[in-house]
Amino acid sequence: MIKNLNLEQISVILDALPCEMMFVDENDTVQYGNKMETRFFRFNKDKIVGTDIRACMSAKTQPKVEKILADFKSGKADEAEFWIPSLGPKILNQFIALRDKDGKYLGVLEYILDYNALEQIAEDKKDAPKV
């Protein structure tokens, strides 16, 4: 079904999702990121695409990311996450290994969820009429 969409449509769909995400290929190179200009970690799209993922991480998180990448590549793990306390009490950074139908590692999808924002949405809608 995705072949029916053009690149602009795919881009606006991904930007509309309530999370920030980045795709890193099997060589640890950033190939895509949504919401680059408005992310928690703002990146210049022209500078980050084609960059090694390690260049995007703080020195503190690099060992965690190294382990995640190694575990994904070896097949030891398919998911990993950690909280980012420096951005707020409920900011979760999650990683998912992407594999083809034969299990070959293709890269990683990293996404950041702001649970503070999700809780605020729930709070704002608690008195809304039920449909």
User: 88-125 pLDDT, tens per residue?
Assistant: 667 788 999 999 999 999 999 998 887 766 666 667 77
| pLDDT above 60 (res 33) | yes
100 falls within a domain: yes
Nearest to 106 by CA among 64, 81, 75, 67: 75
Range of the domain at 65: 20-125
As a whole number of angstroms, the distance between CA 130 and CA 128 comes to: 6
Report yes or no on 117 lying in a domain.
yes
* Residues 42-101: tens digit of each pLDDT: 455 566 789 998 887 778 888 988 999 999 999 999 999 887 766 566 778 899 999 999
**Does residue 60 belong to any structural domain of this protein?**
yes
Q: Is residue 14 part of a domain?
A: no
Tell me, yes or no, whether 10 lies in a domain.
no
Both tokens of residue 15?
Answer: 């930007």
Q: What is the CATH number of the domain that holds 114?
A: 3.30.450.20
Task: Please tell me the total count of domains within the chain.
Answer: 1
- Asked if residue 28 belongs to a domain, the reply is yes
Let me know if residue 7 belongs to a domain: no
Judged against a pLDDT cut of 90, whether residue 28 lies above it is answered with yes
The Cα 105–Cα 2 span in angstroms is: 21
Q: How far apart are CA 15 and CA 55, in angstroms?
A: 23
